[in-house]
Structure 1
Amino acid sequence: MSKKSENPQILSSVSNALRILKSFSTFEPTLKVKDLSESLGLGKSTVSRLLATLAHEGFVIKENKTGKYKLGLSVLTLGGIVTNHLEIHKEAAPLLYKLVNDTGETAHLSILDGLDTIYIHKEECSHPVRILTHLGRKNPSYCTSSGKVLLAFNENNLVEEVIKKGLHAYTSKSITDPDELRKELKTIRDRGYAISTEELTEGTRSVSAPIHDYTGKVVCAINVVGPIQRMQDYKVPEIAKKVMNAGKEASQRMGYNK
């Protein structure tokens, strides 16, 4: 359904163009005019005009063979500007490289985006596996180690909003019981790190720790993720120690002094 705002400062055409851009995802990297028209509640002619404008500015590209649209390089350019000017990105990015060398697994920085987590930096290991992680990817916060860390230390108690939205089961190991999630978050606060084992993607495990800013607020999570075959149970405590150390060093670089 088309969104309408009572705020006279909001231009509906701009809002709808941005809604089109946000419709693309890892699972739907290409979309037809019909797809966007139906999902956004907009007329096909309106969608076509907006796509033509976005294509002219380089934000989408039309595939001649299929007639479908995909995101253009202008989106990537803007994304690079954002990440390069995030203080946490500048301070913690070098630590990701070290963490990859120390653990042999892929490392990420994640922040909260509404009720979800989003990756803002990724350092790939030398023997990556097919795990769906990429910059800008959103994941449900209650199913990932980074998301659970950010929820556990969130000052606004977002967990209740997450619970209200619904705890969907992505795998048989996803947390779907509100009380179980609350208990898990308390455990994370007590021990200082989170573990996610096949809660979002089968066959994978991740370990995450918080990063504090100079005020003591947790603003980011740092994690490593890999296949269970490599991140076996007996390795988790040592991996967690390395991830926590990386989080502490990143926090110090952000001016945090406990």
Structure 2
Amino acid sequence: MKEQDSPAKGKPDYIVPGLLRGLSILGLFGYRRPTMRLADIARELNLPRATAFRLVYTLEQEGYLLRIKESGAYSLGPLVLTLGFDYLHSQELVQIAGPLLDGLRDRTGASTHLAVLDRFDVLYIYRAASHERLSSNRHVGSRLPAHVNSIGRAILLAFSDEELNDMYSGVDLRVEGHDEPRDLEVLKRYVAEERERGYVAGSFVPGIAHVAAPVRDASGRAVAGVNVSDYESLPCMQDMHGVLKDEVLATSAEISSRLGHSGHTLRATPPESKRS
């Protein structure tokens, strides 16, 4: 491609304001704010209400936003999810981990999951649902704060205290429905204990048990995490720190090996910017 035909990153002349505003609207939605009203969108982006309406209406008509009739608020539409899932499912990580997580599910009888770190959240990109009548309801596309999630904490095992300081300093760690960790020092203490053990196990949600471990790539970075997560009444959950832990660690090690990991010490890559 000739130089004059290539996009010039950062040059204002090449930026389409309408497209940028539309993308900014989609970026407002997330785990902590799944719905928004038109007035809130206009205020957040400092847009005239009429401009916000036209942008939101266009996104709604194209399937990127969905209007909730009862409240008049908006949520992300099915097209956003479809595009995201198609991308995720085409990636090497899911292709490698999927069959292994299916096998882990079949051996344990519990649901298994794969998730990646996305700034301060974990994003679930694969789920092998339990064949049992009772099953975890964590679906692909779900997002949860990493520090109160088993897979998130498994990924954080690769962070040093200094990296945890850089990532979470000044960030409010309080999450509704979770008593701990509520501050950085408590989080570092939890991570230190779990790092020593090499895996994460316990109950982050009442009635649900988890065992999680990190997944590492060829460079040794923690690029994802896997877990077994399901009702604590399932038989496999009665030996979380024994057989089940061994199964999860073996599966994470096999995925890591297929990604080129040789067994050297892993490190994670902290997010580039703090959550506001």
TM-score by length of 2: 0.77
Q: What's the CA shift for 1:24? A: 3.9
Provide closer, same or farther for how the CA distance between residues 71 and 181 of structure 1 changes in structure 2, counting only shifts above 3 A.
closer
Partners of 1:151 and 1:158 within 8 A in 2: no
- 1:10-49 alignment to 2 at 5 Å? 11-25=16-30, 31-49=36-54
Alignment gaps of 5+ in structure 2: 1-9, 264-276
**Stretches of 4+ moved more than 6 A in 1?**
none
Residues in 1 aligned to 2:88 and 2:161: alpha-carbon distance in whole angstroms: 25
Provide closer, same or farther for how the CA distance between residues 26 and 116 of structure 1 changes in structure 2, counting only shifts above 3 A.
closer
Identify the residue that residue 55 of structure 2 maps to in structure 1.
50
- Farther off after superposition, 97-106 or 167-176: 167-176
How many residue pairs were aligned? 251
Provide closer, same or farther for how the CA distance between residues 30 and 172 of structure 1 changes in structure 2, counting only shifts above 3 A.
closer
Provide closer, same or farther for how the CA distance between residues 26 and 152 of structure 1 changes in structure 2, counting only shifts above 3 A.
closer
Instruction: Decide which of 101, 105, 127 is 1:100's aligned counterpart.
Output: 105
Identify the residue that residue 201 of structure 2 maps to in structure 1.
195
- Farther off after superposition, 66-75 or 180-189: 66-75
Instruction: Decide which of 211, 221, 244 is 2:249's aligned counterpart.
Output: 244
Provide closer, same or farther for how the CA distance between residues 70 and 186 of structure 1 changes in structure 2, counting only shifts above 3 A.
closer
Residues in 2 aligned to 1:126 and 1:242: alpha-carbon distance in whole angstroms: 18
Residues in 1 aligned to 2:125 and 2:161: alpha-carbon distance in whole angstroms: 22
Partners of 1:212 and 1:254 within 8 A in 2: yes
Partners of 1:205 and 1:231 within 8 A in 2: no
- Alignment RMSD: 3.0
Identify the residue that residue 172 of structure 2 maps to in structure 1.
166
- 1:88-237 alignment to 2 at 5 Å? 88-127=93-132, 129=134, 133-154=138-159, 157-160=162-165, 161-171=167-177, 173-198=179-204, 201-230=205-234, 234-237=238-241
Q: Percent identity?
A: 27
- Farther off after superposition, 143-152 or 133-142: 133-142
- Farther off after superposition, 56-65 or 211-220: 56-65
Partners of 2:236 and 2:244 within 8 A in 1: no
Residues in 2 aligned to 1:121 and 1:28: alpha-carbon distance in whole angstroms: 23
Provide closer, same or farther for how the CA distance between residues 172 and 121 of structure 1 changes in structure 2, counting only shifts above 3 A.
closer
Q: Secondary structure at the match of 1:110?
A: strand
Identify the residue that residue 3 of structure 1 maps to in structure 2.
none
Q: What's the CA shift for 1:207? A: 1.2
Q: Secondary structure at the match of 1:165?
A: coil
Identify the residue that residue 4 of structure 2 maps to in structure 1.
none
Kindly provide the amino acid, as one letter, of the partner of residue 250 in structure 2.
Answer: N
Q: Secondary structure at the match of 1:224?
A: strand
Alignment gaps of 5+ in structure 1: 1-5
